[in-house]
Amino acid sequence: MDNNGKVLSSKGFDTTKENITAYITNFRNNAAKKGCTVALSKAAVKDYYKNITMSSNIQTVNAASWRNDYAELKNTFDNGWHTPQYSQFLKSNGYPIGCGPTAWSIVYGYWSAFKDRPNLFDGENVKSLSTYDKINACMSSVADSVDTSYGEFRDKKFGRTWPWDMDKGINYAKNKGYTNSRCTRYVGMQEHSKFDYVKGSLNDDRPCILTIASDGAGIPDHYVVIEAANKSQTKYAFKWHDRNVKYLVNWGDGSTRKWIYVRDWGQNQHEVYPATSMFTIDIE
């Protein structure tokens, strides 16, 4: 029966009762006493749904199906970083050695510290502060291998390594006796595809080098070392679809380690760093 007394269904009720409305009311009261759910009026139902507050964590109706594809280096230095805090040094002529050789030395420092490649720094423990001369020597040797050039822009000196020469930094490892070492450059593909190679390398406990635009715009001009990687995916139409890609990187200045986005889906909710060449490295 509705609120106007119209009988909508007689199933379960004795319709021979003279006062069917009172009979229904008595039924509801008895049900309530027993802890059962009592039928609500149409107005009460509308009022209930009108006052529901949706959770702020729900972005869209179909946003529940999200997942992250994640990979990270396995070892950690005492300061909590996966890779060493090396930074560029100034050459005797006042020019910085360059971010390319610095990135290579960071990668070599990881292999030396955690992956049993002692010859990279002539048998010295790279965790010791006394090895800075060996680290600088590594950077200098790599700078020669990758043809780092030097110049000035707006009265600021710089060291520049072109991406197409960057893979030559593997010659340092070969000259130290690891003759089967390899460096592979990935360029000219979307960031989701490059992520798959980064993930594979990190899962094998091998840090990667990435070329980015250091100011978040313009031409890529800086090399960083990737310690961890994450790709988010959403599911719709029964398939997983790639969305954001971000990396945890060692900036190469001795103090900066942060997550950067290289692919941001939608309305660019994050600062995005344009990226080009990515290098995987294996020292054997």
For 61-106, how does the pLDDT look when each residue is reduced to its tens digit (9 = 90+)?
Answer: 344 588 999 999 999 999 999 999 999 999 999 999 999 999 999 9
Q: What is the mean pLDDT of residues 101-120?
A: 96
Cβ-in-10-Å burial (0-12, 13-18, 19+) of 140 comes to middle
Question: Residue 244 region, left (φ>0) first, then alpha (ψ -120 to 50), else beta?
Answer: beta
Q: Is the pTM of this model over 0.85?
A: no
Closest CA to 246 of 210, 217, 220, 221: 210
Q: Which domains does the chain have, with CATH numbers?
A: 1-52 (no CATH), 66-282 (3.90.70)
Average pLDDT of the chain is 84
Instruction: Report d(CA 183, CA 196) in Å as an integer.
Output: 16
Confidence of residue 244 (pLDDT cuts 50, 70, 90): very high
Distance of alpha carbon 158 from its chain centroid, rounded?
29
HSE at residue 79, side-chain half, CA atoms within 13 A, is 12
Whole-number pLDDT of residue 269: 82
Instruction: Give 219's contacts (C-beta < 8 A, 6+ positions apart).
Output: 213
Give tens-digit pLDDT for 24-72.
666 666 655 555 544 545 554 454 444 433 333 323 334 458 899 999 9
Whole-number pLDDT of residue 265: 86
CA distances from 141 to 70, 136, 152, 167 (A): 34, 9, 22, 14
Instruction: Report d(CA 274, CA 219) in Å as an integer.
Output: 8
Run of H or E including 208: strand 208-212
